[in-house]
Homo-oligomer: A and B are copies of this chain.
Amino acid sequence: MSIITIERKVLEKNDEIADANRARFRQHGLFVFNIVSSPGAGKTTLLERTIETLRGEMRIGVVEGDVQTDLDARRVASYGVPAVQIVTNGGCHLEARLVRDALDSLDLSALDLLVIENVGNLVCPANYDLGEALKVVVLSTTEGEDKPLKYPGMFRRASVLVINKIDLLPYVNVNVATIETYARDINPDLEVFQTSCTTGEGIPAWCEWLRGRVARA
């Protein structure tokens, strides 16, 4: 019982800080999304393709979250965008206060789009608002069709689903329409994109959607 109370307090405190983060983002007219997935679904590679496509037309910053290593921040920084790495040191998700502290290393007034890449985990990050406008969940075709049913919390809280690695569809026993059906069973309002970061298929449609969101922020 005491644990539940304390967990609720942790979440309440997190929501307060998330709201403060959101207010800062709004003040700077910044569009911010929180990108979540299983480990290895391709969040960082999607981000690389996105930066390649959009960096000439908007100013992009990245906050990377990982259990260990700054590999992802270094990958993203190599594209010439400001990137901050949060190492959770065993922690299974980002929290709003970690993002708040990371923002000290970024000039928000010099950005149009901020991407927060969460720890690779389809469970825990669902419960933590970071102050983002919305969550984007990435699912690799290789993970199978049943993931929206088995991890419904994340698919319910996300606004966008990116089904990635569609270039591997010929080699896996997976029907992309079934993934979409299951995902919309959980969340009928999901915006769905299909992408391959290897062939580039679907990246233009995803980036066009992002352009619209950044323009409206």
Interface residues of A (CB under 8 A from B): 2-3, 6, 10, 38-41, 66-69, 71, 90-92, 119-124, 140, 142-144, 146-147, 149-153, 165, 167-168, 171-173, 198
Contacts and interface: CB of A to CB of B under 8 A. Distances in A.
A146 to B, nearest CB: 6
A121 B39 CA distance: 8
B92 A124 contact: yes
Given A6-B2, A124-B123, A40 B142 contact: yes
A58 B198 CA distance: 44
B3 A10 contact: yes
Contact of A6 (B6, B121, B165, B168): B6
Contact of A144 (B6, B40, B153, B171): B40
A150 B68 contact: yes
A68 B151 contact: yes
A123 B122 CA distance: 10
